[in-house]
């Protein structure tokens, strides 16, 4: 298979679905990929599963997902994706041997949650390769991924976020007491500590005392050199799905009722007692405000394709705070992002079609930009 086209009559679009990766969210990526692969219309798309091991090795093959789930990679085809325009595809890779084309690609669907996937790194590779891809670009991915930087941008746009600060892992080693004082200045306990660049609630701790804060900071610093400390709220967790490029649309809000005291990794993926309420039981004004802020935040980071926007609705005051924007939200069978669109009448397979269409639209828009400049005179 060679060449790249537009998936016209008689030919299906070749979609590379990328999953796994060097992230603490590796397993969640595999779960999301299983749902995506099951819902891509095989009459419209020729799907090429692409798995990335925990070590960062790239593999391809129809059984790539199953192999990564079992951590049995011996039977897979080692591949590379060159960063050169005009070579937009997968190549067989063997040490000392010439690269051989395995298959061209029309579009890539990265399902890589967390670092080395959701943070703009893979998006940068795809930009260099001049390949259309689903989801946000390099800038939006990187900004949304870094919770500390993201909150500063929201404040600059007058979008309400909870009080927070960022501490460095090096500060915990060199100036622990001073760093603890600065963290406690954010607000009274409880405080939350979390890695600045990670998701799926990995590394998040609810701290009720200074000793808890030490443990929480050290645990978060295992995953990232930047750690966010945030004032704790007694709040409801509201989520809105956003879809689109320059004209984004917001879904009805949903509410997460976690089985844990907050929406921890266990509550998200291991404990079936967590519930999703769709639509969220909100008054009309609050629901409209959540949808409005979701689109504002999406535009502020220059979002594209999709995002799930999370809010905290403080129980005592009714104040709504934007928590984060997930540019590659979960796509598992229990994930909120596809469920919110399904509630609005957009079924999972049609959602896949929309996302791929938005990727092609965005790529076409960028391809029409002038990339050279010859000065006058």
Question: What pLDDT does residue 202 have?
Answer: 76
Q: To the nearest 10°, the Cα dihedral for 120, 125, 130, 134?
A: -40
Question: What pLDDT does residue 332 have?
Answer: 85
> What's the rounded Cα separation, in Å, for the pair 50 and 45?
15
> What's the rounded Cα separation, in Å, for the pair 137 and 147?
17
Question: What pLDDT does residue 5 have?
Answer: 44
Question: What pLDDT does residue 105 have?
Answer: 95
Tens-digit pLDDT string for the chain (377 aa): 334 444 555 689 999 999 999 988 899 999 999 999 999 999 999 999 999 999 999 999 999 999 999 988 988 889 999 998 877 789 998 888 888 999 999 999 999 998 899 999 999 999 999 999 999 999 999 999 999 999 999 999 999 999 999 999 999 999 999 999 999 999 999 999 999 887 657 789 999 999 999 999 999 999 899 999 999 999 999 999 999 999 999 999 999 998 656 544 554 544 566 789 999 999 999 999 999 999 999 999 999 999 999 999 999 999 999 999 999 999 987 899 999 999 999 999 999 999 999 999 999 999 999 888 777 55
Question: What pLDDT does residue 10 have?
Answer: 65
Query: Is the whole-model pTM more than 0.95?
Result: no
Question: What pLDDT does residue 194 have?
Answer: 93
Question: What pLDDT does residue 139 have?
Answer: 97
Question: What pLDDT does residue 270 have?
Answer: 47
Whether the upstream peptide bond of residue 190 has omega within 30° of 0, thus cis, is yes
Question: What pLDDT does residue 200 have?
Answer: 53
> What's the rounded Cα separation, in Å, for the pair 132 and 150?
25
8 Å CB contact between 144 and 324:
yes
Domains and CATH numbers, the chain: 13-133 (3.40.50.20), 163-231 (3.30.1490.20), 234-365 (3.30.470.20)
């Amino acid at each position: 298979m060679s060449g790249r086209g537009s998936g016209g009559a008689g030919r299906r679009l070749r979609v590379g679905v990328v999953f796994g990766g060097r992230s603490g969210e590796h397993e969640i990526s595999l779960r999301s990929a299983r749902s995506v692969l099951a819902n891509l219309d095989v009459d419209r798309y020729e799907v090429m599963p692409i798995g990335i091991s925990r070590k960062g090795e790239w593999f391809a093959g129809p059984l790539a997902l199953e192999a990564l789930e079992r951590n049995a990679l011996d039977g897979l085809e080692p591949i590379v994706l060159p960063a050169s325009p005009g070579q937009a595809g997968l190549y067989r890779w063997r040490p000392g041997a010439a690269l051989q084309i395995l298959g061209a690609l029309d579009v890539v669907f990265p399902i890589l949650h967390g670092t080395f996937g959701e943070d703009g790194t893979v998006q940068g590779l795809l930009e260099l390769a001049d390949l259309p891809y689903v989801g946000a670009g390099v800038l939006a991915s990187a900004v949304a991924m870094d919770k500390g930087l993201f909150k500063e941008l929201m404040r600059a746009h007058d979008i309400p976020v909870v009080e927070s600060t960022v501490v460095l892992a090096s500060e915990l080693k060199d100036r622990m007491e001073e760093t603890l004082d600065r963290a406690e200045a954010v607000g009274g306990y409880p405080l939350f500590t979390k890695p600045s660049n990670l998701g799926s609630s990995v590394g998040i701790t609810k701290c009720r005392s200074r000793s808890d804060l030490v443990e929480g900071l050290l645990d978060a610093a295992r995953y990232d050199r930047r750690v966010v400390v945030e004032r704790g709220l007694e709040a409801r967790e509201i989520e809105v799905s956003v879809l689109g490029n320059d004209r984004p649309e917001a879904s009805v809000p949903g509410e997460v009722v976690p089985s844990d005291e907050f929406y921890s990794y266990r509550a998200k993926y291991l404990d079936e007692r967590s519930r999703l309420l769709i639509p969220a039981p909100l008054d009309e004004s609050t629901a409209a405000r959540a949808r409005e802020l979701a689109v504002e935040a999406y535009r502020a980071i220059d979002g594209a394709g999709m995002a799930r926007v999370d809010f905290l609705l403080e129980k005592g005051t009714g104040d709504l705070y934007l928590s984060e924007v997930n540019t590659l939200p979960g796509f598992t069978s229990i994930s909120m992002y596809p469920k919110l669109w399904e509630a609005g009448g957009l079924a999972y397979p049609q959602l896949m079609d929309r996302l791929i269409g938005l990727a092609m639209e965005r790529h076409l828009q960028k391809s029409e930009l002038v990339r050279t400049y010859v000065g006058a005179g």
